[in-house]
Structure formats: structure tokens, C-alpha cells
């Protein structure tokens, strides 16, 4: 069985909905792309004294309707 990640699932959902709405291909491509991405790596000391590096993401998909803080 093929493993799909959430990003691939969302991309396919956009394609399916675009067919039902008869959206222009340019609009579909705009919806599929993010406007801004911030990726940060930060260290954290664990309870046992070891350190691990965690990755955080903040993504802004579209600000057409006005200012937006993006998702976490």
C-alpha cells in the first residue's frame, strides 16, 4: 500500500475540487503554492539531559482577503 503524506493529499483534493468548480488552471496552481514559509530548527534539552533538535513550520497560503498570521 502506497503511503501518502498530508501535503500530497491536499494537492489531490485541490485538483478534485477544481474539476467540480471548473477553475482556470492558473487559479489552481496559485491555490497549490504557498505564499510564504518560515522553517526554524531549535534545540531543546530533554528531561534526561540530552538535547534534541526540533523543526517548526509556519506557512501562509494566501493573503488575498487581508492580513493573515499563517498556520502552525
Q: What is the pLDDT of residues 8-65, one digit of tens each?
A: 898 999 999 999 999 999 989 888 888 888 899 999 999 999 999 999 988 877 777 7
Distance (Å, whole) CA 48 – CA 45: 8
Residue 36's nearest CA partner among 64, 2, 70 is: 70
* SS3 category, 2: coil
Distance (Å, whole) CA 57 – CA 41: 9
Give the residue extent of every domain in the chain: 1-33, 34-72
Distance (Å, whole) CA 70 – CA 41: 18
Whole-structure pTM value: 0.56
Amino acid at each position: 500500500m502506497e503511503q501518502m503524506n498530508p501535503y500530497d493529499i491536499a494537492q489531490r483534493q485541490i485538483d478534485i475540487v477544481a474539476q467540480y468548480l471548473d477553475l482556470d488552471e492558473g487559479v489552481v496552481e496559485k491555490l497549490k503554492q504557498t505564499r510564504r514559509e518560515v522553517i526554524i530548527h531549535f534545540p531543546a534539552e530533554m528531561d534526561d539531559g540530552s538535547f534534541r533538535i526540533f523543526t517548526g513550520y509556519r506557512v501562509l497560503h494566501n493573503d488575498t482577503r487581508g492580513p493573515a498570521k499563517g498556520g502552525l
